Amino acid sequence: NLLDKFLIPKAGTPDSKVFYLKMKGDYYRYLAEVSSGDELTDVIDKSQQSYQEAFDIAKDKMPPTHPIRLGLALNFSVFYFEILDNKSKACQLAKQSFDEAVAELDTLDENLYKDSTLIMQLLRDNLTLWTSDGGVEEPETAPIVADAEGTN
């Protein structure tokens, strides 16, 4: 309610709007994990709508390396994998987001490097895990370079 009434309508930048829509998608995804029947269908729809709206804005207004966009891709792909049981869509979304970010790593803002590369690693880890479960062909991904200190 707080998100719908105040935060999302008053979000002044694409970054904040995507962040709040992602938060709404996450909230309904968590509810989907404990819901059943008609309520389950409703929360799945609300989660997917929120993620999709955020994703459309992020693709149009944010660079592929932005940590909020990458975090959205990570969570939206988990939604496809765990809630919708659509492993191929989850892998496709994670791989596309990872590959687009790798292609623009050289333009990444120094202040965002650690956050972005951490989320990119999580995307890649999920791809590895999901494709090792069988049934989904492992997509080719470019290597990622992370610093020796970790990511935060």
Section 116-133 average pLDDT: 94
In the prediction, which pLDDT does 133 show?
63
Residue 151 has pLDDT above 80, yes or no: no
Residue 134 has pLDDT above 80, yes or no: no
Could you read off the pLDDT of 62-116 as tens digits, one per residue?
999 999 999 999 999 999 999 999 999 999 999 999 999 999 988 888 888 999 9
Residue 3 has pLDDT above 60, yes or no: yes
In the prediction, which pLDDT does 148 show?
33
Mean pLDDT of all residues in the chain? 88
- CATH number, span 2-132: 1.20.190.20
Residue 149 has pLDDT above 70, yes or no: no
Amino acid at 88: S
